[in-house]
Structure 1
Amino acid sequence: MNVIEAHGLRKDFTVRVRKGLLRRESRAVAAVDGVDLTVRRGELLGYLGPNGAGKSTTLKMLTGVLHPSGGTVAVCGLTPVPQRIQLARRIGVVFGQRSQLWWDLPLGDSYELLRHIYRVPAAEHAARLRRCRDLLELDPFLDTPVRQLSLGQRMRGELTAALLHGPEVLFLDEPTIGLDVVSKQAVRGFLAELGATGDTTIVLTTHDLADIERLCRRIVVIDHGRVVHDGGIDALHARYGSQRRVVVDFDTAPAAVPTLPGVHLEATAGPRLTFTLDGTASVGALVSALSALGGLRDLAVTEPEIEEVIARLYRS
């Protein structure tokens, strides 16, 4: 069952552009330009794009914050803007630069207030809070006022706040932005376990591609308001020409280098050679040819990083 369905989704903004010394002209700019998106129940989707691509605008339309300029959208069977109150009870939202916690209250008091706002039965609230306390290690700062929490502690608190009412869909906009390594690991581990249960659909936007590699099987890439890729990471590598590298060390520099289809000698540094391989080349064939030269001491194969692939996609 699809919990999110968007067809031809569009959002236009009017901007004023200077025309001459005293005149300004109004112009419509499409922040989201005809996005088609379906997300199944229990899916963990990575939603990527450069700054200004339309990621946050899409999330705001899916959550009922912005009214679409065109197209249709349904989340949990509801139309977000006219049914915003009903939808709010069925989704959770975490924006990296926004807070739903009370800054002057201890973190635990914020959770108790949210229980009453969402009218969650006490037993359900306690069970969900207990699970989040264990997985996100909240106990050391539950009695600390929110304004005194570190960024990593506050983000763990925000994730918990978004989940205490048992949402069907969790929207995360840059949830690990600015976090230290330890806090990032805690958040990633929590999201991985949450996604593995299949009870909550997660839509994640981030510039931290390590989050995407470790959490998401499916990624949607948006650029200039349009979807340019929808599929798995392997399909992304295949589509945009990912290149593996083979770094080889010899006892002495070889007199000749084998020539194979799809293999390019990228660099030579004495007895060390670096090759790049496109999708048609075989690492095994290259290793066999290099072994035949004699004096092979060490060999390493590095897979392409997703950052390189995404950068190539944006440039194209």
Structure 2
Amino acid sequence: MPIIEAEGLSKTYRVFQKKEGVLGAMRGLYRREYKEVKAVDQVGFSIEPGEMVAFLGPNGAGKTTTLKMLSGLIYPTSGTAQVLGFTPWQRQDAFRRQFALVMGQKNQLWWDLPASDSFQLHREIYSIPAAEFKKTLDELTELLGVEKLTRQAVRELSLGERMKMELIAALLHQPQLLLLDEPTIGLDVVAQVAIQKCLRDYHTRRGMTMLLTSHYMRDVEALCSRVLVITHGTLVYDGPLSGITEKFGSAKLVRLDFVEGVVPAGLERFGEVTRSDGASADLKVERSKVAEVLGAILDCYAVADVSVQDPPLEQVIARVFEEGRKTHDAA
């Protein structure tokens, strides 16, 4: 049975349109005009137990709105969803004890208290036995390397340390499902890697299901093998991470190192030169023409080394977002 099963999930907001000027504002007091904004439009997918799935999309695409519906924070306009066998917006206690939602820009810990005091409050809320609570807390603080920081006031912690404490608080009751909304936003590379490692190790130990939204492709590549892509509230891709490059990456990146020590002139006739540095150059070539172009280059120039790579995932995802925007504008 899927952990998450959504079908035709939609959320429409009725937004007040304020007129310009004083006269327009006064008219708005008596006759208000609204427009409908579709935050999520007929989204459907299912996630099996133990999967780690990335949920990608540009700002305003509907990612956070979808997570809020799946966690029961807001009601959908239409559609259905089953999460852990429950309808999330019914907000049953049995459901709320089995999942956790972590939002990178929201705090759940008491600002002026040590994190350990907030952890004790969570223990009481979720009725966690003392021995089990201590075992889980010790495991998580060790994974994240924050054993000596739990008695420090949350406001005195760095952003990365606070995010680690937020993650610990979310995992104390050992949820079956973890919903993560931009968990590494604003963090440096060291903190990002630490959180990625913790989530990966915790998943290996507990088999937790995870749905992650992030603008950092390193998070996605480090944790997820399956990707959902949403643009303008509509799901446009659901499949393996590698399939995004195959479906939307129309070109390959050919990296060349030349024997002469300089990049020869005329290389642009084989494709788009995206980088030229000393004796090496990067060439953007259509996938279907890679073999043909490589043969022609080797016939014309003395090449010391060559490699063919997929374009960076960030570029491919950006293209998916752009195509989604054009489709939406055309519609």
Q: Distance in 2 between matches of 1:18 and 1:258?
A: 52
Task: Give SS of 2:109's match.
Answer: coil
Q: 1:296 aligns with which of 263, 286, 303?
A: 303
Alpha-carbon shift at residue 186 of structure 1 (Å): 0.4
Q: Distance in 2 between matches of 1:241 and 1:272?
A: 23
How many residue pairs get aligned? The number is 312
Residues 1:194 and 1:294: Cα distance change in structure 2 (over 3 Å)? same
Alpha-carbon shift at residue 297 of structure 1 (Å): 3.3
Q: Distance in 2 between matches of 1:258 and 1:184?
A: 38
Alpha-carbon shift at residue 10 of structure 1 (Å): 0.8
Structure 1 range deviating more: 46-55 or 240-249: 240-249
Q: Distance in 2 between matches of 1:54 and 1:164?
A: 28
Q: 1:276 aligns with which of 271, 279, 284?
A: 284
Alpha-carbon shift at residue 293 of structure 1 (Å): 3.9
- Decide whether the 8 Å contact of 1:254 with 1:293 is kept in 2: no
Tell whether 2:95 aligns with 1:111.
no
- Compute the TM-score of the two structures, normalised by the length of structure 2: 0.86
Q: Report the equivalent of 1:38.
A: 46
Q: Quick one: which amino acid aligns to residue 56 of structure 1? A: T
- Decide whether the 8 Å contact of 1:107 with 1:144 is kept in 2: yes
Instruction: Write out aligned runs for 1:94-173 (5 A).
Output: 94-173=102-181
Tell whether 2:186 aligns with 1:178.
yes
Q: Report the equivalent of 1:217.
A: 225
Q: Which runs of 4+ in 1 moved over 6 A?
A: 255-259
Task: Give SS of 1:141's match.
Answer: coil
Alpha-carbon shift at residue 90 of structure 1 (Å): 0.6
Task: Give SS of 1:276's match.
Answer: strand
- Decide whether the 8 Å contact of 1:107 with 1:143 is kept in 2: yes
Residues 1:103 and 1:294: Cα distance change in structure 2 (over 3 Å)? closer
Q: Quick one: which amino acid aligns to residue 318 of structure 2? A: A
Task: Give SS of 2:34's match.
Answer: strand
Q: Quick one: which amino acid aligns to residue 304 of structure 2? A: R
Alpha-carbon shift at residue 258 of structure 1 (Å): 11
Residues 1:197 and 1:243: Cα distance change in structure 2 (over 3 Å)? farther
Tell whether 2:21 aligns with 1:14.
no
Uncovered stretches (5+) of structure 2, i.e. residues with no partner: 324-331
Q: Deviations over 1:241-296 (max 9, x none)?
A: 3422223224166587698xxx625369686554222222445x655554444532
Alpha-carbon shift at residue 6 of structure 1 (Å): 0.7
Tell whether 2:271 aligns with 1:264.
yes
- Decide whether the 8 Å contact of 1:250 with 1:272 is kept in 2: no
**CA RMSD in angstroms, aligned pairs only:** 2.4
Residues 1:137 and 1:29: Cα distance change in structure 2 (over 3 Å)? same
- Decide whether the 8 Å contact of 1:5 with 1:38 is kept in 2: yes
Residues 1:5 and 1:291: Cα distance change in structure 2 (over 3 Å)? same
Residues 1:198 and 1:222: Cα distance change in structure 2 (over 3 Å)? farther
Q: Deviations over 1:115-156 (max 9, x none)?
A: 111001122212211110111011120110112111111110
Task: Give SS of 2:40's match.
Answer: strand
Q: Quick one: which amino acid aligns to residue 16 of structure 2? A: R
Q: 2:72 aligns with which of 64, 70, 74?
A: 64
